[in-house]
Amino acid sequence: MTSDLEELLAVLDLNRVDDELFTGSHPSKNPIRTFGGQMMAQAFVAASRTLKHDLPPSALSVHFIAGGDPERDLEFHVVRLRDERRFANRRVDVRQGDVLLASALVSHLAGGRGLEHGVVAPEVPEPLSVPSIEDLLVGFEETVPLFVAALKPIEWRYTNDPAWVMRGKGEQLAHNRVWLTARGPMPDDPVIHAAALVYSSDTTVLDSIITTHGLSWGFDRIFAVTMNHSVWFHRPVRFDEWVLYSTTSPVAAESRGLGNGHFFNRDGQVLATVVQEGIVKYFPGSASD
């Protein structure tokens, strides 16, 4: 049997049609529309595979325009905007036929040594001392069935109660902190490790919008869809090691909410910064009404 991680790695192994066109498939387990994290990670890989020089990534910014059909392959059209020895910029348009699903801007930069500082990593329990995502979903199979059925190539270990557990306790929480790591060996390819971070950055980042109000997916009638998503890469990442994803929501207004966060390594260094904006609509009354 193919593991969920092997499926993700296969999805990230894009088919190169020509110098600027790639195609990508979907895994066997999908939501109704293509998972945004998958689309972003594939677009990142497409951009990275066209580089003339071996440059580390510096930023990724994606605007989502339409939902993808998981029954059809995705096309990644790369536009070379800039190529220099230390700088590179790409635009990647994600399409299915004539439909533009998303447009990504990806930059690579070899900056060299310089000033360093960063936010302090929160104090949280060690990853193996907190429950796995499978443990936290026991008893909630009918409440959050999409989470139960989702592809799980990355191990999640919440250091706080996730939304569906917190909701049952009548609590509120202004942050979410989750340990993440790949569920098995990964190739020694920095592009794939960074792509795994991009993929994972689309998980839990909007949770703090609803947990701030004591709400939860499954229990409450909530509609959420990502509008745009950005990642800034600060240091190289190994996603076969534990990283901490700490997220908050600084603002929600006009049916839109912002989630932001940082990835930290075990030494407390900031690996990446994430900001995501989503449409988040709450309809009072239980989800079963």
**DSSP-assigned letter for residue 41:** H
Which percentage of the chain shows pLDDT scores above 70? 98
Instruction: Tell me what pLDDT residue 111 has.
Output: 86
Instruction: Tell me what pLDDT residue 113 has.
Output: 87
CA distance 36 to 102: 9
- Whether the CB-CB separation of 106 and 77 falls below 8 Å is answered with no
Residue pLDDT, tens place only, 93-129:
999 999 999 999 999 999 888 999 999 999 999 999 9
Instruction: Tell me what pLDDT residue 285 has.
Output: 73
CA distance 214 to 96: 38
Instruction: Tell me what pLDDT residue 1 has.
Output: 60
Residue pLDDT, tens place only, 198-208:
999 999 999 99
Long-range contacts of 51-55 (CB under 8 A, 24+ apart): 51/83, 51/88, 51/108, 52/83, 52/88, 53/83, 53/84, 53/85, 53/86, 53/88, 53/110, 55/86, 55/87, 55/88, 55/108, 55/109, 55/110
Instruction: Tell me what pLDDT residue 188 has.
Output: 96
Around Cβ 255, how many Cβ atoms within 10 Å?
Answer: 11
Read off the pTM: 0.95
Q: Is pLDDT above 70 for 148?
A: yes
Mean predicted lDDT score pLDDT of the chain: 95
Residue in the block written with tokens 């900056």: 111
Domain limits of the chain?
4-110+131-286
What average pLDDT does the segment 69-73 reach? 97
Using the Cα atoms of residue 238, residue 240, residue 243 and residue 249 in order, give the sign of their dihedral. positive
Strand, coil or helix: 286: strand
What average pLDDT does the segment 137-153 reach? 93
pLDDT-based confidence at residue 288 (cuts at 50, 70, 90): low
Instruction: Tell me what pLDDT residue 289 has.
Output: 58
Using the Cα atoms of residue 114, residue 271, residue 62 and residue 229 in order, give the sign of their dihedral. negative
Nearest to 212 by CA among 167, 276, 254: 167
Instruction: Tell me what pLDDT residue 153 has.
Output: 97
Identity of the residue numbered 276? Q
Instruction: Tell me what pLDDT residue 286 has.
Output: 63
Top CATH class of 4-110+131-286 equals mainly beta
CA distance 89 to 78: 10
What average pLDDT does the segment 51-74 reach? 97
Q: Is pLDDT above 70 for 59?
A: yes
